[in-house]
Amino acid sequence: MAAKTLTIDGKQISAFEGATVLQAAEEAGIPIPTLCHLDGVYDIGACRICLVEVEGVAKLLPACTTRVREGMEVRTDTERLRNYRRMILELLFAERNHVCAVCVSNGHCELQTLAYEHGMDHVRYEYRFPKWDLDVTHRLYGMDHNRCILCNRCVRACWHIEGAGTKNVAGRGARAHIISDLNQPWGDSESCTSCGKCVDACPTGALFKKGATAGEMAHNRAKLEFIVTAREKKQWIASE
């Protein structure tokens, strides 16, 4: 594989051809914030948190789906990007009912962590307070649509790591939501293997293990990485 030389935030680095800007930056120790990205499943560029500026390109590009090019000049941390990221986070908090104080994932939540990192001390947009239901029909797990940010990670983990294809998205716009099978109660799903990978993939507390109380539920991403590493590298060890 040929190597490509590029600059990220003024730092000259090299990356393998075909690598994404996100992978290249990670290798070089340059952090780019992400939300819908999950190691092991394909990227969809949906959350727009990892957008970066590329010299000579008018549009902002998602680091997770943009491939490195020779001589590329990437900026990951400009005033404009930081500002847009904070706005996107605020939009997410205003969109559904994210009540950190009573959330199972309080303290283990990627959305929350990103909000702190981006100086979000309040939300400037009107809270929508939509009415969403809870699906607790599954024996082991629950889905709280109030906390869902539609990152699609559960859907991709379900299809591409577990291969069950239970989770999907229905509806559009603000009414888009995660469903099980043909929009039936999760507990009635015949395809769900109850593996729990969707729960581990979830960045917030939308998918949770039953019985967890506020702040109690950590996500076990190592389990997903273990499987992906085994599949891709034929190594039966979870990477760090």
Partner 1 sequence: MVIDDLNAIAEAERAARKKYTLRCCMAAGCHSSNSVAVKKALEQAVKDAGLEDLVEVRGVGCMRLCCQGPLVQVDPDGTLYEKVRPEDSASLVGTLKGGTTHVQKGDPNSPFFTEQLSIVLANSGYIDPERIESYIAADGYRALHDVLREMTPKEVVDEIIKSGLRGRGGAGFPTGLKWGTVAKTESAQKYVICNADEGDPGAFMDRSVLESDPHSILEGMAIAGYAVGANQGFVYVRAEYPLAISRLQNAIKQAKQRGLLGSGIFESPFTFNIDVRIGAGAFVCGEETALMMSVEGKRGTPRPRPPFPAESGLWGCPTLINNVETFANVAPILRKGADWFASIGTEKSKGTKVFALAGKITNTGLIEVPMGTKLRDIVEKMGGGAPDGAPIKAVQTGGPSGGCIPAEALDTPVDYESLASLGSIMGSGGMIVMDDATRMVDVARFFMEFCMDESCGKCVPCRAGTVQMHSLLEKILNREATAADLQRLEELCQMVRDTSLCGLGQTAPNPVLSTLRFFRSEYEELLKKETAHNGEPRAAIR
Partner 2 sequence: MSFLDLDEWLVDLAAAVDVVYSPIMDIKEYPENVDVVLVEGAIANEDHVELMHRIRANTKVVVAFGDCAVTGNVTALRNPLGDPENVLQRAYKDAADIAPQYPAEKDIVPRLTPRVTPVHELVKVDLFLPGCPPPAPRIKLFLEQLLAGKGERLAGANIKFG
Task: Select from 7, 26, 77, 132 the one that contacts partner 2 (CB under 8 A).
Answer: 132
Buried b (16+ CB within 10 A) or exposed e, 216-230: bbebeeebbbbbbbe
Q: How do beta strands 167-170 and 73-75 pair?
A: unpaired
Of 7, 14, 65, 106, the residue at the interface with partner 2 (CB under 8 A) is 106
What does residue 54 show for φ and ψ, rounded to 5 degrees?
-120, 125
Q: Which of 61, 212, 215, 226 binds partner 2 (CB under 8 A)?
A: 215
175 forms part of the interface with partner 2 (CB under 8 A): no
Which residue's CB is nearer to partner 2, number 106 or number 168?
106
- Which of these ranges, 88-96, 181-189, 191-199, 201-209, lies near partner 1 under the rule CB under 8 A? 88-96
Taking CB under 8 A as the rule, does residue 88 contact partner 1? yes
User: Can you tell me the distance from the alpha carbon of 11 to that of 110, in angstroms, rounded to the nearest whole number?
Assistant: 27
Which residue in the set 12, 78, 83, 183 belongs to the binding site for partner 1 (CB under 8 A)?
A: 83
Separation CA 192–CA 183 (nearest Å): 13
Identify what 159 binds: partner 1, partner 2, none; CB under 5 to 8 Å per kind: none
Residue 34 CB-half CA count within 13 A? 21
**Least separation in angstroms between CB 230 and partner 1:** 26
For residues 146 and 205, the answer to whether their CB atoms sit within 8 Å is no
In DSSP terms, 142 is beta-bridged to 208
**Among candidate residues 50, 133, 122, 121, the one with its CA nearest the CA of residue 96:** 133
Q: Residue 45 or residue 215: which is nearer to partner 2 going by CB?
A: 215
Is 123 a binding residue for partner 2 by CB under 8 A? The answer is: yes
Nearer to partner 1, 128 or 233 (CB): 128
The dihedrals phi and psi of 184, each to the nearest 5 degrees, come to -120, 165
Contact between 130 and partner 2 per CB under 8 A? yes
d(Cα 81, Cα 77) in Å, to the nearest integer?
Answer: 6
Judged on CB neighbours under 10 Å (0-12, 13-18, 19+), 212 is middle
Using the rule CB under 8 A, is 116 a contact of partner 2? yes
> Which residue is listed with tokens 């941390």?
77
User: What's the CA dihedral at 225, 230, 236, 240 to 10 degrees?
Assistant: -30
Restricted to residues 122-181, the positions that interact with partner 1 (CB under 8 A) are 122, 124-126, 128, 149-150, 152, 168-169, 171-176
Task: Count interface residues toward partner 2 (CB under 8 A).
Answer: 27
Give the interface with partner 2 as residue ranges (CB under 8 A): 93, 97, 99-103, 106-107, 112, 115-117, 119-123, 126-127, 129-132, 146, 214-215
Give the interface with partner 1 as residue ranges (CB under 8 A): 44-48, 51, 59-62, 65-67, 80, 83-84, 87-88, 91-92, 94-95, 122, 124-126, 128, 149-150, 152, 168-169, 171-176
